[in-house]
Amino acid sequence: MHFMHQALQQAALGLGRTAPNPPVGCVIVAGGEVVGRGFHPRAGQGHAEVFALQDAGVRARGATAYVTLEPCSHTGRTPPCADALIRAGVARVVVAALDPNPVVAGRGVARLRTHGLDVHVGPLADAAVRQQAGFRSLITRGRPWVVYKYAATLDGKISADDARPLPVSGPDARALVHTWRNEFDAIAVGVGTVLADDPHLTTRGVPGGRDPRPIVFDRHARTPTTARALRPGTVLVTGPDARTDAHEAAGAHVLRAPTLHEALQGLGALGVTSLLLEGGARLASALYAADLIDEVRAFIAPTLLGAGLPALTSPAAHAPRALHDVQATRVGTDVLIEGFLTAIPRVDA
Ligand code: AOF
Ligand code: ZN
């Protein structure tokens, strides 16, 4: 397997745990063998390179480091990784993609080259950039990367009407969604979904999984204080005048935002890099109309419904909007169609 692929697998161990930092992985290779592995576990803790260098010990001298993100050149919560690689005597560094953080953005690579290391940028860049979409969105736009996930019938309906949930997708699709919940910083629903389904918004059936932060878009604070989604840390996004004393007493963090754009900027300020939007159609439609959905993951089930609520109810656009970089995969009895509305921010080498 490609060494950069192994570095990406290392990085994945930090997915959903590193906000506002990126998930990053590193493997050190000497004599064609992996002699050190590491990943960034959490903001404030060591960067991937530091753990991989520790793991490699003296074998790092003269070795090649594969890193999924450009090694940093700045002193943040931790010292620069470029310096750690130089000090350890690493001879060659292979980087998947440059760091869009304006304090790094090419400086890490430049520093390594100045010190005589051989640096190669680009292998598996697309996969790395996708894995880092949340971080890239937050650092360049100040808001999380938003993925609209839904399960629809073949005729595009996600529920019979706004009030009644409908089991559309099969068990394999539902299991996959739980692996995503484990990897996203936050999960969002509209108050209509809370009132209709009272969802838990937790990660279930994923070994070592952790729950994403629940976000409820609830302009007039209609969420019952007994709602399952309301727990310490839940963000209640409301309008300016909503009455929220009881929600705050229940541990909710209230974010008062006059517009959806400001709501997302507010979530960004809380360090949310990635948001999995799980319904309902009304919230998704409002975000879509405001051009705030970046990616779509749709499970299409081979069933028909007839009358019902479509995945988007916004006023019709003049022309269909095509997703790009589309993938279709069979997931159990369903077909998963994934694609992008926005290009993930990246820095050119
Ligand atoms: C790396 N390796 O594993 C990570 C990097 O506050 P700090 O010190 O943790 O720095 C955070 C910034 O460092 C973050 O915004 C991003 O630019 C970079 N993250 N860099 O070389 C890593 N997590
Ligand atoms: Zn670093």
Alpha-carbon gap, residue 192 to 178, rounded angstroms: 21
Tokens representing 135 are: 């971080």
Dihedral sign computed on CA atoms, order 240, 245, 247, 251: positive
| DSSP code of residue 338 | E
Task: Report which bound ligand comes closest to the CA of 77.
Answer: 1
Confidence of residue 3 (pLDDT cuts 50, 70, 90): very high
Give the strand pairing for 274-277 and 253-256: unpaired
CATH class of 143-340: alpha beta
pLDDT in tens, 136-156: 999 999 999 999 999 999 999
∠ Cα 208 280 323 (to 5°): 85
- In the annotated binding site for substrate, the residues are 181, 201, 204, 278
If you average pLDDT over every residue of the chain, what do you get? 94
Listed by start position, the domains of the chain span 1-134, 143-340
Kindly tell me if the per-residue pLDDT of 347 is higher than 70.
yes
Which of 49, 70, 183, 295 is the catalytic position?
A: 49
Amino acid at 127: A
Kindly tell me if the per-residue pLDDT of 272 is higher than 70.
yes
Ligand 1 contact, 40 CB (< 6 A): yes
pTM for the predicted model, two decimal places: 0.95
* Inter-residue contact 321 to 341 (CB < 8 Å): yes
DSSP, residue by residue, 11-50: HHTTTTTSTTSPP-EEEEEETTEEEEEEE--STTS--HHH
Cα radius of gyration rounded to whole Å, the chain:
22
Q: What is the pLDDT of residue 44?
A: 93
Ligand 1 atom 2: the closest Cα is on which residue?
Answer: 47
Kindly tell me if the per-residue pLDDT of 342 is higher than 90.
yes
pLDDT in tens, 174-207: 999 999 999 999 999 999 999 988 999 999 999 9
Ligand 1 atom 21: the closest Cα is on which residue?
Answer: 71
Q: What is the pLDDT of residue 168?
A: 87
Kindly tell me if the per-residue pLDDT of 277 is higher than 80.
yes
Confidence of residue 163 (pLDDT cuts 50, 70, 90): low
- In the annotated binding site for Zn(2+), the residues are 47, 72, 81
Closest atom of ligand 1 to 48 CA is 3
ipTM tops 0.85: yes
pLDDT in tens, 26-41: 999 999 999 999 999 9
Give the strand pairing for 253-256 and 235-238: parallel
Q: Beta partners for 334?
A: 331
Domain at 1-134, CATH homologous superfamily? Cytidine Deaminase, domain 2 (3.40.140.10)
Q: What is the mean pLDDT of residues 212-218?
A: 98
Alpha-carbon gap, residue 143 to 138, rounded angstroms: 5
3-state secondary structure of 326: strand
Backbone torsions φ then ψ of 28, nearest 5 degrees: -110, 130
Dihedral sign computed on CA atoms, order 261, 178, 216, 44: negative
Confidence of residue 78 (pLDDT cuts 50, 70, 90): confident
Kindly tell me if the per-residue pLDDT of 318 is higher than 80.
no
Kindly tell me if the per-residue pLDDT of 349 is higher than 90.
no
Q: What is the mean pLDDT of residues 73-95?
A: 93
Alpha-carbon gap, residue 40 to 22, rounded angstroms: 8
